[in-house]
Amino acid sequence: MNLKMIQEFYSRNHYLIAFFAILFVSLILFSFVVQFVWAAPLVPCGRQDQKGTPNEKCSTCHFFVLGQNISDFILKDVTPPLTIVFVVAGGAMILFGSGSTIWVAKGIGLLRTTGIGVALILGSWLIVNSALSQVSKYVGFSSDFGEVPAKWYTFPIYCGEGDGGVPGELICKPKDQTKYLESSNQTEVEVDLTAEGGQEGEYHWSIQNSDGTVKVSRNGNPLKVSLPKGKFTAEVKRGNENQTAVCTVKVQDPLQCGTCLGAQCSDSNLPICGSIEDECSPNQVNKLFENLRIPQINGLTQVESMSLLKSLAARLSGGNPLVENENRFGIFQFTVAKANQLKSLVGINESIGESWLTNIDNTQKIINLAGAWINSQNLIAVCGSGPKDVRDIAAGFLGGKSVCEKSSACTESGSESCSICPNNNEPTKNWECLWSGPAPHNVCSDVDKPNETFSENTYAQIRSFAPRVQWCYDTYFK
């Protein structure tokens, strides 16, 4: 089809073509008009919604929300329909003016100008996005939605409760909390409450127990009070307003873990006495270990050695040799320092670095390092050799042999040991004990690290890891 045929077709059907072109543009514009009608208003405050309900009062913060709304309106609501209109208009000039070089030139010029305009708008948006993303890394955004916003145009500008006394909804935080008495001798525990938002004025608190008796009536914010065992309702008001916010607080007996009593810790409710179901990637792990020579672990058979090493690799890396976690690398998540310390035990002479530990060609040597670490710590003798002892061996793999020794912290007033896992019929080990001191057990050991060379993991990490290795062993590799 040449230009002459196109011109002849247009001359015979130009009215029909014009009709459909106008219809197309009208439908496009109509759809955006509907969107404008139902879209959220630009002004985010100081008005009423469609039901007549007043929304937030305006503050300085809402100025930035208004700017964001205008930016979104131009980019998402104005630019697309105008672009379509100008492109259709430019195309129509070229089509309808095919016999006139002036109209063709105008059509081409309009398309070129439209393209440049859209490119400038999107380019500006891209530049701002990149700039803010880079600056945010150095400014150090820190909030509930992450350290660095992934997309600046979805950055949640929030103007509400407690924004420097800015009027907003009155709230009480935390909404629900449970506190535990630290020992059987303790009668009260400290509770922290915070209020945000509301009108101007001082915050007033009223705390009642379950029968309605007022235990605390006090002004101030935040509030720190001591409460006995029981269930309490905390109401807070601000100034002379009628609006109230409510929090609930439960104070319970000391947390009991097995036959041990003590303060609640981050992993108090973790079932460490058995196994914890989790992902083990058995296919990936089995494929990784294919045709490899398994090092002999002292006290285990060759088959038991392979099952143990597979279970450890399953939870440490999922059988992926490329895994990196802070300063730990590869299948068994060794640090460079630990790997270099162990290499002489298995006849490795080369220098070991990060790339060496994540090189799949070194898989056999890395497995040998894992076996050497277990043997050098004498984990089978110290932690146990039976199928149910896998979780203890796993704990020793992360923390060293000392974590399997009898805990001196899990004692009752320095006398006989209590037991975290009484059904296991054995003394509580260091890694199992939740606390770092003797009874009344009011100091958690969550962030403590075993006193072992090359033990980089906290007790909380060990307690989370060991039962999951037991699960992988029992379910896939036993």
pLDDT, tens digit (0-9, with 9 covering 90-100), for 401-459 = 999 998 888 865 445 567 888 777 788 899 999 988 877 788 888 888 887 666 678 99
List C-alpha distances in Å: 414 to 182, 410, 422, 442.
17, 9, 18, 14
Q: Are 322 and 339 in contact (CB under 8 A)?
A: no
Phi, psi of 178, rounded to the nearest 5 degrees: -120, 130
Whether residues 457 and 332 fall in one domain = yes
* One domain, residues 330 and 184: no
If one compares 281 and 8, the residue with the highest pLDDT of the two is: 281
User: Do 228 and 300 reside in the same domain of the chain?
Assistant: no
The pLDDT of residue 56: 55
Identity of the highest mean pLDDT range in 38-52, 80-94, 118-132, 380-394: 380-394
154 closest CA partner among 38, 49, 76: 76
Could you tell me the CATH number of the domain that includes residue 243? 2.60.40.1930
DSSP codes of every residue in 256-311: EETTEEE---TTTT--TTS-------HHHHHHHTTT-PPPPPTTS-HHHHHHHHHH
- Any idea of the CA torsion for 301, 307, 312, 318, to the nearest 10 degrees? 150
Q: Indicate whether 102 and 196 sit together in one domain.
A: no
Is residue 281 predicted with pLDDT exceeding 80?
yes
Domain count, the chain: 3
* Cβ atoms of residues 329 and 352 within 8 Å: no
Whole-model pTM: value is: 0.51
32 and 125 co-located in one domain? yes
- pLDDT, residue 149, reads 42
Are both 286 and 248 inside the same structural domain? Answer: no
How much is the pLDDT for 23?
60
Q: What's the token pair of residue 79?
A: 């630019």
Q: Are the beta carbons of 47 and 41 closer than 8 angstroms?
A: yes
Residue 267 inside a domain? The answer is no
- Per-residue pLDDT, 273: 85
Whether 35 has a pLDDT exceeding 80, the answer reads no
Q: What's the pLDDT at 48?
A: 56
> What pLDDT is attached to residue 20?
60
- pLDDT tens track for 135-146: 444 433 333 333
pLDDT of residue 158: 46
CA distance 470 to 273: 10
Co-location of 247 and 310 in the same domain: no
**Residue among 168, 169, 189 nearest 177 (CA):** 189
CATH assignment of the domain containing 315: 1.10.530
Share of the chain above pLDDT 90, in %: 27
Measuring CA to CA, how many Å separate 238 from each of 206, 213, 224? 12, 21, 17
Q: State the pLDDT at residue 371.
A: 95
Q: Which range of residues forms the domain containing residue 343?
A: 282-477
* Separation CA 15–CA 94 (nearest Å): 16
pLDDT for 329 equals 93
Q: What mean pLDDT value characterizes the chain? A: 78
**Confidence tier at 369 by pLDDT (50, 70, 90):** very high
Residue 259 falls inside a structural domain: no
Cα→Cα distances 395→283, 312, 342, 421, Å? 24, 10, 19, 15
Question: What pLDDT, on the 0 to 100 scale, is given for residue 41?
Answer: 63
The answer to whether residue 159 sits within a structural domain is: no
Band (32; pLDDT cuts 50, 70, 90): low
Q: Are residues 248 and 287 in the same domain?
A: no
- Dig out the tokens for 60 from the structure: 């300085």
Q: Does residue 166 form part of some domain?
A: no
Who has greater pLDDT, 374 or 425? Answer: 374
pLDDT exceeds 90 at position 100:
no
Residue 271 maps to a domain: no
Domain boundary among 139, 154, 180: 139
CB atoms within 10 A of CB 167: 20
Same-domain check for residues 103 and 180: no
Write down the pLDDT at residue 409.
85
pLDDT tens, position by position, 60-92: 666 666 776 777 777 777 788 788 878 877 777
For 333, the token pair is: 């998540």
Q: Provide CB contacts within 8 A for 271, sequence distance 6+.
A: 467
Residue type, 252: Q
Q: Within 10 A of 358 (CB to CB), how many other CB atoms are there? A: 18
Could you tell me if residue 261 is inside a domain? no
Q: What are phi and psi of 354, to 5 degrees?
A: -60, -45
Same domain, yes or no: 195 and 241: yes
Does 258 map to a domain?
no
For residue 325, which of 315, 333, 336 has the smallest C-alpha distance?
333
Q: Specify if 215 maps to a domain.
A: yes
Judge if 444 and 295 occupy the same domain. yes
Query: Looking at the structure, do residues 286 and 414 belong to the same domain, yes or no?
Result: yes
Q: Is the pLDDT of residue 348 over 70?
A: yes
User: For residue 244, is pLDDT > 60?
Assistant: yes
Decide: helix, strand or coil at residue 216: strand
pLDDT in tens, 141-170: 333 333 334 444 554 454 543 333 344 678
Q: Beta 176-180 vs 244-252: how paired, if at all?
A: parallel
The tens digit of pLDDT for each residue in 168-227 reads: 678 888 887 777 776 667 788 888 898 888 777 888 999 998 888 888 888 888 888 889
CA distance 144 to 152: 15
Alpha-carbon 208 to chain mean position: 36
HSE-CB at 58 with a 13 A cutoff on CA atoms is: 10
